[in-house]
Amino acid sequence: MRESFRQAMAWLHTWLGLTFGWLLFAMFLTGTLSYFKEEITHWAQPEVPVRALDTRAALEHAQAFMQGAASGASSWYIMPPNERRSGLEVMWPAPSEQGRAFISKQLDPATGQLLFVRETKGGDFFYRFHYELELSYPFGRWIASLAALAMLVTMISGIITHKKIFKEFFTFRPGKGQRSWLDGHNAVGVLALPFHLMITYSGLVIFMAMLLPATLFTVYKGAPAKFYQDVFPNAFPAPAKGEQAPMAPLSRIYDQAMAQWPGARFARVEVQNPGDRAARVVFYRHAGDRIAYLPGASLAFDGVTGQLLGSSGVDEGALLVGGGFYGLHMGQFANTAERWLYFIFGLGGTAMIGTGLVLWLSKRQLKYVRDPKPPIGLRWVATLNLASMAGLVLAVAGFFCANRLLPLELAGREDWEVQIFFFTWLAAFLHAALRQGQRRGWVEQLSLAAAQYAALPVLGLLFTGRGLPRAIAEGDWATAGVDLCALLVALLLAWLARKVASRATVQAAALRPARVMP
Amino acid sequence: MRMFINRISGLDLRLAWLIMKKPVPVPARYRLGVLSRCLAASLGGYALASAASVLLGSLLPGAPAQAAVAAMMLGLVIYAAAVIWVFACRSAAKAWLGIGGCALLLGLADLALYRVAAV
C-alpha cells in the first residue's frame, strides 16, 4: 500500500474523529443505555406494578377501557405487556385543540384500572436522544446521520492507518501516558470491530429512506409514499363507513392471531375505525421474535366479524437484508446475556471514541507540559473533552435524580426532567471552561457524578415504594438492576476520580522545580 | 513524500509548530484546500451516492421495494467510499473532478432512464 495513502487516511482519521468525536461519544453512550430502554423506563415508573403475563386478559381490559375513554377516536393503539414491559399502555389521537399528537395512558394489566404513573420519558429519552438529539424532525436525524457517516469513514480510515492491526491489538503498555491511550484505543477498537462497523452502518440503513429520498422518488415514479404502502400495507386504514357496529372482542382475535403465528408476541395492536362497520384490527409482531426485523410484519382482522383479512411482511431479498441490519442495531431479539453483550460492546465503542479524543489531546499536550498557557485550540479541546464525557455522565445522573426528586404533580414534569439533563450538561460545560479541561475539573465532575449515582438507590428507597431491597426480594430485576448498576457506576467513577487526582499531584510535583529554574 | 507534504501538510506543519513552539502560519491555500475537500466529500459525495443509488434502483431486478432498498443500502456504502476517495486524492481539484464527473455522468444516466420510463 502506498505510504502516502496511509498518511492521508491517518490525517482523515485524526481530524474527522476530533470533529465528530464529542457528538459521537454522546450518541454512543445514550445509544448503549437504550439497550436497557425498557428496564430504565420500568425503573423510572415505580407506580407500574409487575403482574403475571397474560396478554389475552390485558387486551380484554384495554378494550373495555378504550370503549369508555376513546369511543370517538379514529384509532386505538394498545401496547400489551411483555417480559420487559410490565405496563399496559393505550394511546389514541388527541383532539386537535390539545396541541399534542396522542393521549397515552397506563393501565394495570391485571385489572384494567387506570394507573397514576409519574410523567417521565424514562429510557425513551436516551433512545430518542441518541438519534434525534432532542432537535425537531428532520434536523436531529440528519445531524446524527452525518455523524454516523463520519464514524463509518473514521473507522475505515482507522483500519487503513493501523496496518499491523492484530499485532497492535496484543500490545498494551499501561502507565505510559500517551502510549497507553493509543494501545487502549486500538484494543477497544479492534476487540469489537465487527460490532462497531455493524452498528454504525445499520444506523445509517435505518434512516436510508430519509437520507436518499431521490431513490424512492424515482423507483416509485414520483410517488414515494407507495413504498410504504408496499411494505406496510396494513398501516393504511380504509375510510370509515359511518355505520355503527359492535366490535369483536380483541381476546378472540388474539386467539386467532396466535393460531396463525404460534408462539408469537405482539408489540402493538392497532384498532382502525373502532365502533364502525369498517373497523379493522392489526396485530403487529414483536420485533424481538427473531433477529431480522420484518418491516410491517402483521396480521389484519375485520374488527366486526373478527375474520382474518391478511398477513404482511416481506421475508426475502434486500428487505430481509435491510431488516437484518435493523434488527441487529436494535437488538430486540437479545436475551438477557446477549443484551449485556450489546451493552458491553456499546460501552466499548463509547470508550473507543473517548480514548481517541484523549489521545488527540495528550499527544499534543506533551509539548506544553511546562507551559502554563498552552495554545487556545488545545484548551478548547480539553474543555470539550471534559464537558462531553464527564459532563454527559453527570447530565445522565441529573436526569435519573430528577426522576426521583421532582414533585409528582408538577405540570410538564417529563419536560422538566429533560431540561434538568440539559442544564446539568450546560453547567458541566461552564465548569469545564472555568477549569480549562484540566485534571482538577475531571476530578470534580467525576466525584460529583459518583456521588449522584450512589445517591440513586437511596432516593429510590426514600421516595418510591420500590426501593432496592424490596425490588430484590420481589425479583424485580429491572428496578434492582438499574439501582445496582448505579452503585457500580458510582464506584467506577470514584475510582477514576482518584486515579486522575493522583496523576494530577504527580504532575504538579514534577512541574514545581521546573518553574524556579531560569 | 515531498509531494505528499505539499499536498496534505497539515499534520507535518502542525508537528513543526509543536516542536518549534512558535505558531507556523498555515498557508491560506492549504486551509482552502481542506475546506474544498470537505465540501467535495460531503456535498459532492452525497450527489454521487444519491445519483448512483437512483441508477441502481432503476436497474436492479425484482419488486420496486426490493430494488429501492438494495439501491439505498448500496448508496450509503458508495457515500462512505466517495468520502475516503476525496481525502486520498492527490489534490482537491482532482477530487472535485472525479466526484463531480462521476456524479454528473450518473445524473445524466438517471435522467435518461427516467425519461425513457416516463414515456
In sequence order, what DSSP letters do the residues of A239-294 get, joined into one string? PP-S-B-PPPPHHHHHHHHHHHSTT--EEEEEEESTTBTT-EEEEEEPGGGSSS--
Q: Do A212 and B72 touch (CB under 8 A)?
A: yes
CB pairs under 8 A between A and B: 127
Q: Do B54 and A220 touch (CB under 8 A)?
A: no
Residue A236 lies in a domain: yes
Are residues A27 and A168 both part of a single domain?
Answer: yes
Of A341, A333, A320, whose CA–CA distance to A290 is shortest? A333
Instruction: Choose the closest CB to B84 out of A156, A212, A371.
Output: A156
pLDDT of residue B8: 46
User: Please, which pLDDT band fits residue A313 given cuts at 50, 70 and 90?
Assistant: confident
pLDDT of residue B110: 92
pLDDT tens string B7-27? 444 455 555 555 555 556 778
Instruction: Choose the closest CB to B88 out of A9, A216, A375.
Output: A9
Cβ-contact A99, A12 below 8 angstroms: no
Are residues A354 and A390 both part of a single domain?
Answer: no
Residue A167 lies in a domain: yes
Instruction: Choose the closest CB to B65 out of A5, A218, A319.
Output: A319
ipTM of this predicted structure: 0.89
Q: Whole-number mean pLDDT of chain A?
A: 91
Region for residue A110 given its phi and psi (left: phi exceeds 0; alpha: psi -120 to 50; beta: otherwise): alpha
Q: How many CB atoms lie within 10 A of CB A459?
A: 18
Q: How far apart are CA A465 and CA A474, in angstroms?
A: 12
Q: What is the CA radius of gyration of chain B?
A: 19
Instruction: Choose the closest CB to A321 out of B73, B77, B117.
Output: B73
Q: How far apart are CA A157 and CA A51, in angstroms?
A: 50
Q: Which residues of A175-188 are buried (b: 16+ CB within 10 A; e: fewer)?
A: eeeebbbbbbbbbb
**A105: phi then psi, degrees, rounded to nearest 5:** -130, 155
pLDDT exceeds cutoff 80 at A168:
no
Residue B87 lies in a domain: yes
CA distance B32 to chain A (A): 16
Average pLDDT on B56-70 reads: 95
Are residues A296 and A218 both part of a single domain?
Answer: yes
Cβ-contact A105, A114 below 8 angstroms: yes
Q: How far apart are CA B69 and CA A216, in angstroms?
A: 8
Contacts of A12 in chain B (CB under 8 A): 84, 87
User: Please, which pLDDT band fits residue B6 given cuts at 50, 70 and 90?
Assistant: very low
pLDDT exceeds cutoff 60 at A513:
no
Strand order in the sheet with A280-285: A102-107, A88-93, A75-79, A266-272, A280-285, A298-302, A308-312
Residue B45 lies in a domain: yes
pLDDT tens string A90-146? 999 988 777 778 999 999 999 999 999 999 999 999 999 999 999 988 999 999 999
Q: Which of residues A119, A140, A164 is at a domain's end?
A: A119
Contacts of B71 in chain A (CB under 8 A): 215, 219
Contacts of A227 in chain B (CB under 8 A): 64-65, 68
Residue B1 lies in a domain: no
Q: How far apart are CA A299 and CA B30, in angstroms?
A: 60
Query: Please, which residues have CB within 8 angstroms of residue A490's CB and are 6 or more apart in sequence?
Result: A450, A451, A452, A453, A454
Q: Do A221 and B73 touch (CB under 8 A)?
A: no
Are residues A433 and A308 both part of a single domain?
Answer: no
**Which of B37, B76, B78, B86 should be substituted to probe chain A, the one whose Cβ sees the most A Cβ atoms within 10 Å?**
B76
Closest alpha carbon within chain A to B42: A146
Q: Do B70 and A317 touch (CB under 8 A)?
A: yes
Grid cell in block for residue B59: 436497474
Grid cell in block for residue A431: 465548569
Q: How many CB atoms lie within 10 A of CB A488?
A: 11
Where do we find the cell 383479512?
A: A309
Check residues B2 and A126 and name the one with the higher pLDDT.
A126
pLDDT of residue B102: 96
Are residues A262 and A187 both part of a single domain?
Answer: no
Cβ-contact A22, A384 below 8 angstroms: yes
Residue A50 lies in a domain: no
Sign of the alpha-carbon dihedral angle for A324, A330, A335, A337: positive
Residue B18 lies in a domain: no
Contacts of A211 in chain B (CB under 8 A): 72, 76
Of B23, B13, B36, whose CA–CA distance to B100 is shortest? B36
User: Interface of chain B against chain A, CB under 8 Å?
Assistant: 1, 3-4, 7-8, 10-11, 18-19, 21, 23, 42, 49-51, 53-54, 56-58, 62-73, 75-77, 79-80, 83-84, 87-88, 110, 114, 117-118
Instruction: Choose the closest CB to B75 out of A4, A215, A316.
Output: A215
Of A346, A15, A364, A24, whose CA–CA distance to A157 is shortest? A15
What is the number of structural domains in chain B?
1
Contacts of A231 in chain B (CB under 8 A): 65
pLDDT exceeds cutoff 60 at A510:
no
Bridge partners of A280? A272, A302
Q: Do A157 and B67 touch (CB under 8 A)?
A: no
pLDDT exceeds cutoff 50 at A1:
no
pLDDT tens string A403-432? 999 999 999 999 999 999 999 999 999 999
Residue A315 lies in a domain: yes
Are residues A249 and A363 both part of a single domain?
Answer: no
Are residues A466 and A388 both part of a single domain?
Answer: yes
Average pLDDT on A193-222 reads: 95
Are residues A472 and A382 both part of a single domain?
Answer: yes
Residue B113 lies in a domain: yes
Instruction: Report in angstroms the alpha-carbon separations of A483 from A456, A466, A495, B30.
Output: 7, 11, 19, 53
Where do we find the cell 387506570?
A: A114
Of A155-169, A326-340, B60-74, least confident by mean pLDDT is A155-169
Check residues B6 and A90 and name the one with the higher pLDDT.
A90
Instruction: Choose the closest CB to B18 out of A219, A322, A367.
Output: A367
Instruction: Choose the closest CB to A153 out of B73, B80, B117.
Output: B80
Closest alpha carbon within chain A to B67: A318
Instruction: Choose the closest CB to A11 out of B11, B64, B71.
Output: B11
Q: Do B23 and A375 touch (CB under 8 A)?
A: yes
Q: Is A272 exposed, middle or buried (0-12, 13-18, 19+ CB in 10 A)?
A: buried
Average pLDDT on A375-404 reads: 96
pLDDT tens string A425-476? 999 999 999 999 889 999 999 999 999 999 999 999 999 988 999 999 999 9
Strand A102-107, strand A266-272: pairing: unpaired
pLDDT tens string A177-190? 778 888 888 888 88
Q: Which residues of B23-57 are buried (b: 16+ CB within 10 A; e: fewer)?
A: eeeeeeebeebbebbbebbbebbbbbbbbbbbbbb
Q: Do B70 and A10 touch (CB under 8 A)?
A: no
pLDDT of residue A3: 61
Contacts of B1 in chain A (CB under 8 A): 3-4
Grid cell in block for residue A14: 485524526
Q: Which of residues A278, A311, A329 is at a domain's end?
A: A329
Cβ-contact A392, A433 below 8 angstroms: no
Are residues A265 and A405 both part of a single domain?
Answer: no
pLDDT of residue A178: 75
Are residues A256 and A144 both part of a single domain?
Answer: no
pLDDT of residue A235: 85
What is the number of structural domains in chain A?
4
Q: How many CB atoms lie within 10 A of CB A429?
A: 17
Q: Which domain holds residue A394?
A: 369-518
Cβ-contact A93, A101 below 8 angstroms: yes
pLDDT exceeds cutoff 70 at A506:
no
Contacts of A205 in chain B (CB under 8 A): 72-73, 76
CA distance B82 to chain A (A): 10
Q: Which domain holds residue B87?
A: 36-118
Instruction: Choose the closest CB to B49 out of A212, A321, A322.
Output: A212
Q: Whole-number mean pLDDT of chain B?
A: 84
Of A382, A351, A10, A359, whose CA–CA distance to A182 is shortest? A359
**Which of A219, A230, A232, A319 should be substituted to probe chain B, the one whose Cβ sees the most B Cβ atoms within 10 Å?**
A219
Amino acid at site A135? L
Are residues A143 and A222 both part of a single domain?
Answer: no
**A106: phi then psi, degrees, rounded to nearest 5:** -110, 130
Average pLDDT on B89-94 reads: 91
pLDDT of residue B26: 77
* List of E strands, B11-116: none
